Amino acid sequence: MLIFQAHLYYCYFCSESMGLDPPLQLLCAPQTPQLLISGEPNFAPAAMDPLDGFGSPRREEASADSRSGWTRFSSWLECVCVVTFDLELGQAIELVYPQDVKLTEKEKTSICYLSFPDSYSGCLGDTQFTFRLRQSVGRQSFKVDIYNRDAPATLQRETAHFFGYVYFRQVKDVSVKRGYFQKSLVLVSRLPYTHLFHSVLQIIAPEFFEKLEPFLEAVCNEIDQWPNPSPGQTLNLPVVGVVLQVIIPSKTDKPGGSPVKQITNESPLPAPTLLPTIHELDLFKCFQSVLIHLQMLWELMLLGEPLVVMAPSPTVCSETILALVSSISPLKFCCDFRPYFTIHDSEFREYTTRTQAPPNVVLGVTNPFFIKTFQNWPHIVRLGEIKMAGDLPKQVKVKKLSKLKTLDTKPGIYTAYKTFLHKDKILIKRLLKGIQRKRPSEAQSAILRRHLLELTQSFIIPLERYMASLMPLQRSVTPWKTPPQVRPFSQDEFISTLDQTGPQLTSMLRGDWMGLYRRFFRSPNFDGWYRQRHREMTQKLESLHLETICDADLMGWTKDKSEVEIVDLILKLREKLIKARRQQLQVKDEVLDKLDAFINSIVGSLPEDLQPVLNAR
């Protein structure tokens, strides 16, 4: 789409800044990103999760051989759980595979309750839905992930949460005391691949309920043969006689681009089934009863407002939450979100307390009890069964929060929120006309997705352009000075640029864009976006600095320097190389190899009694 490559050259491949000490000032202390609010350095409220940066495959107690045996499986899934209903225990985990995966008791309890629809849903037959749960504290931190470096922000692997993809079956069974067979097959993963994992469940779950554990073991062994998810690659994923062909999106992909064509099948496996997406939902199906309020819902997501979706089933509420979160793509939703939430959730008290303002979280629920619990929340979407008004889905109305009092509350959007931007009436007419003409849901969803993408890009491009202007020029990066810092973000300066380079250049929507930006500056989504961009820019400066050091005449510099100064230079160069590799800076291998060679060469020129000391370091 509309990407300003020249302006954003410095913004795209980067990490944390380091400083330089004498003699060459080759390292710098980490810099805290700054914002200027009314001329003073400040920060928007951070949506910091205490678990950020933690989380890894939980096999601390397993042997190294056991860990290495499931490397490929672990790149896709944390584990597979089977949850059943026990007359004495209630919901209980019957099986976890691989067996050496260690889930905490808190995680097991959460998975048990989140894997079954509550009794109000009345789900008979097969039901699929998604949940998201917080990992327990204290997990070993894992290394910087190459996948996350190359994946779009919205598809990065979670570090502090798990997704649970559920296939629940409830059917009459006279051989069971309660009269019903109730069991869930759950894929637990850090990857937000909703469509892929639910497609896998549709293939394996029906057969699993017949063949049970041996079949599940065979499936897990098959997944362990899959290639690792690699952004930009098209992969063939065999499972139970079916080969799913998928494209793993990359952050360099053009937003809204066409799906990749099917590649030739040259293996003895069956002809692959092409999945058009690994993560996208049927947006039109999710939003069909709230189409006329899409602008309001997009703004609420952009601003990270607390919101509850009450729906008749976990399928509807989880898909609606995931669709809402994706509506601001390619901007990452930086608040917490729970596609399916129950009163048994470990965060229930945290999210329902009335002693403080509701947190910046989006929740999907089905239990009518929540209507009373969430009366103090500012935005509540109550969905019912889809009803048709002629050929059109009946649209819910915006209602006052004061009317949200009883358990039989009617469908509607209960909020006092006033939108900053006007509705896009052309879009609504186009979608409604598509319904009348029986346009396929896939085509309607494509129209919706394109509209939301262009709306988000119109909003974010001025921010990207301004952020790029804060980047120091490449010629200011020299080997003999500390890398220059990114200039602080000034909200007032940014607002002053909107008259000339604002969203009106790319969007036909009218309204209070400045007011929307000022509100956005106070949201966790702005905080997350800014931190990520600042990290990328400082990382780019580090990469440029390494390249200029590599091109400098370092050997010439050492000729008239003392031993102490030369040793100081070696230690600082080594530290920069270690950090560059640890943070996986996008620097050419030959740059790092050249610096390695220089260090070895200069160490070899020092007195022999000093060389072992430096080599040992």
Is residue 501 situated within a structural domain?
A: no
pLDDT digits (tens, 9 = 90+) for 568-600: 888 888 888 888 887 778 788 788 888 888 888
pLDDT at 142 over 70: no
The residue out of 196, 227, 258 marking a domain boundary is: 227
Q: What pLDDT does residue 10 have?
A: 33
The CATH number of residue 118's host domain is 3.30.450.200
Which of 108-117, 388-397, 507-516, 554-563 is the least confident region?
388-397
Query: How far apart, in whole angstroms, are the C-alpha atoms of residue 315 and residue 603?
Result: 64
Domain annotation covers residue 334: yes
Region 298-324 average pLDDT: 96
- Count: domains in the chain: 2
Residues 311 and 433 in one domain: yes
pLDDT at 226: 96
Q: Break the chain down into helix, strand, coil percent, rounded to 5.
A: 40, 15, 45
Is 332 part of any domain? yes
Supply the pLDDT for residue 487: 95
| Percent of the chain residues past pLDDT 90, beyond the cut | 48
Q: Average the pLDDT over each of 108-117, 137-146, 185-194, 518-527 and give the range with the smallest value.
A: 137-146
Strand (E) positions, 324-432? 336-338, 361-365, 379-382, 388-389, 392-393, 398-399, 412-415
The mean-pLDDT minimum among 17-31, 543-557, 560-574 falls in 17-31
Tell me the residue range of the domain where 127 lies.
70-227
Given pLDDT bands bounded at 50, 70 and 90, which one contains residue 16? very low
Q: Which residue has the higher pLDDT, 94 or 51?
A: 94
Q: Mean pLDDT check: name the lowest of 26-35, 292-301, 520-529.
A: 26-35
CATH number at residue 324: 3.40.50.11500
> If pLDDT is split at 50, 70 and 90, which confidence band does 454 have?
very high
Q: H or E element: which one contains 213? A: helix 213-223
- In Å, what is the CA distance from 25 to each residue of 480, 486, 533? 7, 18, 25
For the chain, give the mean pLDDT.
Answer: 82
> Do residues 82 and 217 share a domain?
yes
The model's pLDDT over 245-292, given as tens digits with 9 standing for 90+, comes to: 999 999 888 876 654 444 554 555 668 889 999 999 999 999 999 999
Is 586 domain-assigned? no
Most confident of 345-354, 483-492, 567-576: 483-492
- The pLDDT of residue 443: 94
Q: Residue 77 domain-assigned?
A: yes
Domain presence at residue 605: no
What average pLDDT does this structure show over 514-530? 97
Distance CA 248, CA 278 (A): 7
- Rounded CA separation 193/147 (Å): 14
Same-domain pairing of 77 and 166: yes
Structural domain contains residue 200 = yes
Q: Collect all residues with Cβ–Cβ distance below 8 Å to 486 and sequence separation of at least 6.
A: 31, 33, 470, 471, 472, 534, 537, 538, 541
Banded model confidence at residue 39, pLDDT cuts 50, 70, 90 = very low
Tell me the whole-structure pTM to 2 decimals.
0.83
